[in-house]
Amino acid sequence: MNRRWSFWAVPLVWALLFPVHGLAQDGHETDPAASLAAALSSACRANESQFENYLTVDNASAFRALPPEERGAVLKRLALSEQIGKPLLSSDDQGHTVLRCTAPEGTAEFRFGVARVRENLAFVPVAVTDGEKTEFGLVRENGGWRLISLGLVLLDIPQLSKQWAESSLVAREDAAVEDLRSLEDAIQTYRRAFGKLPDTLTQLGPAPKDQVSPDQASLVSEALAAGSDGGYRFRYRIAPGASEDEMAFELVALPDDYGKTGRRSFFLDTSGKIHGADKHGELATAEDPAIP
């Protein structure tokens, strides 16, 4: 799942790709753009030790001090991918660096602009495929160029880790609400097509070509039909006491790993209204606040 994200008010657009053969990965590149490409290529490949080579001494120490899952989350965030990617380097007609990070979930492309160098500081503009732009700041330290800023904000690894972890939770919660709506639409479509409600979510899943049936209706993805997607688990039931004519149902969404994949639980009631609250991993109910 490719993600768009921002650093406070400044759009972040990096996913970094591995440089061509012959480009060093030891943090001693003499060109700031080459250092940026090498640093961010390490994020694409989830290579923590290489990534550290392109941090200042203080930030490298802070990065090493993070728990393993937070270090991994930082690199995934920089690569705009939940999966390890294959980095590729090329150049455009003007000779500017073009980086692609190709993962099973998709490819992100990033185009470097002309670096501005002022003695021991350098600034490299980068544009991503969807048009977002930012500028990376680097400083000379220990014989190489080290990352110091994203956009207008100084790089602070511990703060970044906390902020990105929080925004990832919010993004997963928002995605869970969207999945509930997708399941609701699929169940209603199933009802109209077959004159009844499905017994389970699996009946909404993919079918072989031209073989749609009440048991394989091809209305949602395989993951949603299995009741698990994006760090959330989904449960479905026909509403207790509902008559055959009412065809009322309920859905719930629970975080797979409370506090890591989400905090809020969600409940879609028989009227189609979604409720949500921090239930510490337990079920939400119709008594919880409605989601706007």
Assess whether 149 and 190 both reside in one domain. Answer: no
- CA-CA-CA-CA torsion for 68, 179, 1, 134, nearest 10 degrees? -90
The arithmetic mean of pLDDT across residues 136-146, rounded, is 93
- 62 with 184, same domain: the answer is no
| Residue 13 and residue 122 in one domain | yes
* Count of domains forming the chain: 2
Q: Residue 8 — pLDDT band, cuts 50, 70, 90?
A: very low
Q: Tell me what percent of the residues of the chain surpass a pLDDT of 70.
A: 89
Same domain for 182 and 47, yes or no, is: no
Whether residues 177 and 77 share a domain: the answer is no
> Same domain, yes or no, for 148 and 9?
yes
270 and 178 co-located in one domain: yes
The answer to whether residues 143 and 194 belong to one domain is no
Are 102 and 88 spatial neighbours (Cβ–Cβ below 8 Å)?
Answer: yes
Residue that finishes a domain, picked among 113, 128, 155 = 155
pLDDT confidence of residue 21: 36
**Is 289 domain-assigned?**
no
Classify residue 180: in a domain, yes or no. yes
Compute the distance between CA of residue 174 and CA of residue 231 in angstroms, rounded to an integer.
11
Residues 111 and 133: their CA atoms lie apart, in Å, by 9
Residue 38 resides in a domain: yes
Asked if the structure places residue 203 within a domain, the reply is yes
User: Could you tell me if 246 and 260 are in contact, meaning their C-beta atoms sit under 8 angstroms apart?
Assistant: no
Single pTM value for the model: 0.58
8 Å CB contact between 120 and 126: no
pLDDT tens-digit map of 246-278: 789 999 999 999 988 999 999 999 999 999 999
pLDDT level of residue 244 (50, 70, 90 thresholds): low
**Residues 12, 122 within the same domain:** yes
> pLDDT tens, 165-195?
787 889 899 999 999 999 999 999 999 999 9
Q: Where are the beta strands (DSSP E) in the chain?
A: 5-7, 10-12, 86-91, 97-103, 106-112, 116-118, 121-128, 133-141, 144-150, 153-154, 228-229, 232-238, 249-255, 264-268, 274-278
- Do 53 and 147 fall within a single domain? yes
When mean pLDDT is compared across 56-60, 126-130, 150-154, the lowest value belongs to: 150-154
What per-residue confidence (pLDDT) applies to 157? 77
Residue 111 sits in a domain of what CATH number? 3.10.450
CA distance 234 to 254: 7
Please give the pLDDT value at position 77: 79
Q: Does one domain contain both 57 and 79? A: yes
Does residue 288 form part of some domain?
Answer: no
Residue 209's contacts (CB-CB under 8 Å, 6 or more residues apart) are none
Residues 146 and 187 in one domain: no
- For residue 144, the enclosing domain spans 5-155
Q: What is the pLDDT of residue 151?
A: 80
Q: What is the mean pLDDT of the chain?
A: 86
CA dist 34 and 201 (Å) reads: 49
Decide if 178 is inside a domain: yes
Confidence of residue 11 (pLDDT cuts 50, 70, 90): very low
Give how far Cα 200 sits from Cα of 81, 190, 196, 230, Å.
31, 11, 12, 20
In a domain, 241, yes or no: yes
- Kindly report the number of other CB atoms within 10 A of residue 239's CB atom: 14
Q: Are 123 and 147 in contact (CB under 8 A)?
A: no
Over residues 35-52, the mean pLDDT reads: 93
87 belongs to a structural domain: yes
Residue 43: the pLDDT is 92
pLDDT digits 0-9 by tens, 103-131: 998 888 889 999 999 999 999 999 987 77
Contact between residue 185 and residue 179 where contact means Cβ atoms under 8 Å apart = no
Q: What is the mean pLDDT of residues 22-38?
A: 77
